[in-house]
Amino acid sequence: MLVAPFGKEAEERMRDFFQSLNEKDRRRYAGLEAMKLGHGGVSYMSEILGCDRKTVCKGIEEILDPPELEPSRIRKKGRAQVLS
């Protein structure tokens, strides 16, 4: 694993910030920080933020190839449920 590039105080602030974000922004924040670190960044960010490696990887994908969404929406529109 990558040697911890951040001190304990910085890691704590990163965790607090991460927890304040919505789901989409959490993924992208984790991915962005992992990309900055390079090799070992996904594992390191997953460990300090307490999220799955898949979450970090999906965040990286979303940064590199953003999904087409309306600017004001956080989630994709779902299908309308028809009640019988």
* 17-67 pLDDT tens trace: 999 999 999 999 999 999 999 999 999 999 999 999 999 999 999 999 987
Asked if residue 77 belongs to a domain, the reply is: no
Is 48 domain-assigned? Answer: yes
In a domain, 31, yes or no: yes
Q: What is the pLDDT of residue 70?
A: 62
Residue 75 in any domain: the answer is: no
In a domain, 81, yes or no: no
49, 15 contact by CB (below 8 A):
yes
Q: What is the dihedral of CA 19, 21, 27, 28, to 10 degrees?
A: -130
Distance CA 35, CA 61 (A): 11
Which residue has 């922004």 as its token pair? 25
Q: Which domain holds residue 32?
A: 8-64
- What is the gyration radius of the CA atoms in the chain, in angstroms? 15
DSSP letter at 68?
-
Does 59 reside within a domain?
A: yes
pLDDT in the model for residue 5: 80
* Domain count for the chain: 1
Helix 41-49 vs helix 8-20: angle between axes, to the nearest 10 degrees? 70
Residue 33, domain member (yes or no): yes
In a domain, 80, yes or no: no
